[in-house]
Structure 1
Amino acid sequence: MTVCRDCCCGSRTKHPQLDHDAQLDRVRAALGREHQIRTSDCLDVCTQSNVFVVNPTPAARRAGARPVWFGLVLDDAVLTDLIEWIQAGGPGKADLPAVLELSVIAAPGAPAPSSAAKPP
């Protein structure tokens, strides 16, 4: 997983109600060492901050799954749903819950989101 933490995402100026460090700590604690969680400079979708990109496992990627981009991850409910989906297998392994479909965004330069998160 890649978590944007630059000018807008992770910014108390843009999202003063959110403890951005606590959000990242929660993801790391919930997913543990078996999931690589990294932060990134700007992912170029500032209007959708906070942005999280969930990568498929290598096996799911070989089977055709692609990363799924999420925007507006600004509350605990969305973060909980995201964590639970990743724990269930994530892209290419677990069906994307309908509630999370509302947070899926297109990667910069990509066509609108599609069924990339659905198992083959």
Structure 2
Amino acid sequence: MCQECWAGDGREVVGRVPLCGLGDRTGVRTQAVECFDVCEGDSVTVVRPSPQGRRAGGRPGWLRETHDPDVLDAVASWLEAGGPGVADMPDLVALHAFTPPRRVRVVHEE
């Protein structure tokens, strides 16, 4: 997830706190990155598939604007169900999905 982007408007702390707690809620590992360079004014979260999900053909899910509590709950439920490749992306989460440029995917999906 984005560490501090949010277009420099001071919302970083508000947005990062619930996202950083997502790992505690779901038991998955979270990792902050310096910059994905695709935020266009809001935070970006990448949900990588587990090894099981990757074997099942799961690909990373790129999400924007995930700081809303309802969206966070939907992301947490998706992760608890197995995430990409194991469980279908919830409709609410899908509304926040996007495809970044290939140059960004190559760097961050490895």
TM-score between the two structures when normalised by the length of structure 2: 0.79
Letter in 2 for 1:7: C
Match of 1:100 among 93, 97, 103: 93
Structure 2 counterpart of 1:44: 37
Residue in 1 that maps onto 2:4: 6
Report the counterpart of residue 58 of structure 1 in structure 2.
Answer: 51
Q: Is the 8 A contact 2:5 2:43 kept in 1?
A: no
Describe the SS at the equivalent of 1:70.
Answer: strand
Check the 8 A contact 2:15/2:67 in 1, yes or no.
no
Aligned-residue offset at 1:58: 0.8
CA contact (8 A) 1:44 1:108 kept: no
Deviates most, 38-47 or 22-31:
22-31
Provide the C-alpha distance between the structure 1 equivalents of 2:96 and 2:15, rounded to a whole number of angstroms: 18
- Aligned CA-pair RMSD: 2.2
Gaps of 5+ in 2: 104-110
Gaps of 5+ in 1: 111-120
Corresponding residue for 2:18?
Answer: 23
- What is the total number of aligned residue pairs between the two structures? 103
Structure with the bigger percentage of strand: 1
> Contact 1:31 / 1:83 at 8 angstroms: preserved in 2?
yes
> After TM superposition, what 4+ stretches of structure 1 lie above 2 angstroms from structure 2?
6-9, 107-110
Note closer, same or farther for the CA distance 1:25–1:63 as it changes in structure 2 (3 Å cut): closer
Distance (Å, rounded) in 1 between the aligned partners of 2:90 and 2:64: 15
